[in-house]
Amino acid sequence: MGSLSLATDSRSDLDEDQFSALEQDLRLIEAGAPERLPTTTLRDGVLRLARLQRALEAVGARWLAELDRRVQQVDSPDPLHSANLWLAAALNLTSNAAYSQLCTARQLERLPLTAAALRQGELGGQHVSVICQAVRQAEKTSLDPSAVEAELVHAAERMDPQALLQHWYQVRYQADQEAGVEAEEEQRQRRWLHLRRTWAGGFRLEGELDPEGGSTLKTALQGLMGRRAGGDERPPARRRADALVELARRRLDAGDLPERGGEKPHLAVVAELATLRLEPGSRLAELDWGPLVTGETARRIACDAAITPVLVGADGEILHVGRRSRSVPAAVRRALNLRDRHCQGPGCRVPPELCAPHHLRHWVDGGSDKLSNLRLYCNHCHTLRHPENARFRRRADHGRLPPLRAP
């Protein structure tokens, strides 16, 4: 790790006695056996420690700003002669985290009210971040930045950081509507979404939406989730993920999306008949020309799907492509909707148009598409109706690899 060599005066830059005394006081507090103290004393202690922590943040920011000022006066090829890089290396921070601390330290020097409130323990780090952000944004408005600082420091005495940020948005818009509109558009331009396939075959969803887009998505997901049915043990995060997939599934089922590859977008599953029959040693199915899924998942999707039989030769060449047909004809589906009225899962009342037909005896096992062999289930309940893999688990086969078949 590099070090900074800067010119100093004859006094020591670091008063060891003062730091040693501070460290000794912290050790005494730490050894104070809090489990023996009454609750009121613990609460008072937690508050005092929080104020001390905030005061130390203020002092640290002041020292960092001074260090940054001296570093900028030194012309050195050493990359660690940068307060940002040095801070990241010294404290094992990311470059972004170190830069954020440095920006706050620089700005606090120009925000005397905020720095004083932080030293007195009246503000927390998140409050300071909001005020620094607001003052920077105030420079693009008709507002006086110093007046903005004074207003927000005063408001922070009764608001948490999120409420303080909302208060700043109100102040800005009421004083300068044009600036508020521009800020909203800037926020809208920062929207993004990444859908990345993981090595394990799943997908990771990351992104940020503007307030309108995020609220729209949240409202749609809440509408799909509804009230949790009895017996549904999924946590809210999992129900939310399922609702997002259901939202996409409904758009695909609606058939009104633009064509791709000469046909409407749809979920494609490529599976051998042995896979659908869950025969031991059968291969995984291929989902949408990429991720691999088990025969159990392929069977569930195939319960209500358009099926295209393809005859393949020993070397993989396609010999014949049959006519596409539905696993459940449209007329039978309409009759099924009228008969069942809703999902047949215990206590579930999802309407029929949001359910999928389930074959009591799967069609790949010789089951018919007659009404007597069909039941309606929502996506969640339908998954619970396909435990077929359990039939083929054999303790005797544990630990042994089956013979692999060529693609």
CB 217 within 8 A of CB 246: no
According to the model, what pLDDT value does residue 76 have? 60
**For range 302-319, the mean pLDDT:** 71
Q: 175 and 301: one domain?
A: no
Strands 306-307 and 310-312: unpaired
Domain span at 79: 43-189
3-state secondary structure of 141: coil
Q: Flag whether 341 is in a domain.
A: yes
| Same domain flag for 50 and 185 | yes
Q: What is the DSSP code string of 10-41?
A: SS-SS-HHHHHHHHHHHHHHHTS-GGGS-HHH
Residue 226, helix vs strand vs coil = coil
| 179 lies in the same domain as 295 | no
Q: Hey, what amino acid is at 94?
A: T
Q: Are residues 171 and 60 in the same domain?
A: yes
Mean pLDDT of the chain: 82
Q: How far apart are CA 25 and CA 227, in angstroms?
A: 53
Provide CB contacts within 8 A for 239, sequence distance 6+.
225, 228, 232
Mean pLDDT of 63-92: 81
CB 272 within 8 A of CB 283: yes
Tell whether 183 and 53 lie within a shared domain: yes
Is residue 362 within 8 A of residue 271, CB to CB? The reply is: no
Three-state secondary structure call for residue 205: strand
- Tens of pLDDT, residue by residue over 219-265, are 999 988 888 777 788 899 999 999 998 888 888 877 777 766 556 56
pTM (two decimals): 0.65
Highest mean pLDDT among 176-185, 247-256, 384-393, 396-405 belongs to 176-185
Question: Are 381 and 289 in a shared domain?
Answer: yes
What is d(CA 66, CA 129) in angstroms, rounded to the nearest whole number?
A: 20
Residues 165 and 130 sit within 8 Å (Cβ to Cβ)? yes
What is the C-alpha to C-alpha distance for residues 323 and 308, in angstroms, rounded to an integer? 6
Do residues 348 and 332 touch, judged by C-beta distance below 8 A? no
Proportion of the chain above pLDDT 90, given as a percent: 35
Strand, coil or helix: 158? coil
- Top-confidence residue, 258 or 109: 109
End position of a domain, from candidates 189, 218, 250: 189
Query: Among the listed ranges 33-37, 93-97, 266-270, which one has the minimum average pLDDT value?
Result: 266-270
Q: How confident is the model at residue 121 (pLDDT cuts 50, 70, 90)?
A: very high
CA distance 233 to 132: 44
β-strand pairing of 374-377 with 356-359 = antiparallel
Kindly state whether residues 281 and 373 are assigned to the same domain: yes
Identify the pLDDT of residue 283. 84
The whole-number pLDDT of residue 256 equals 76
pLDDT band at 7 (very low <50, low <70, confident <90, very high): very low
CA-wise closest residue to 304 among 233, 362, 343? 362
Domains in the chain, number: 2
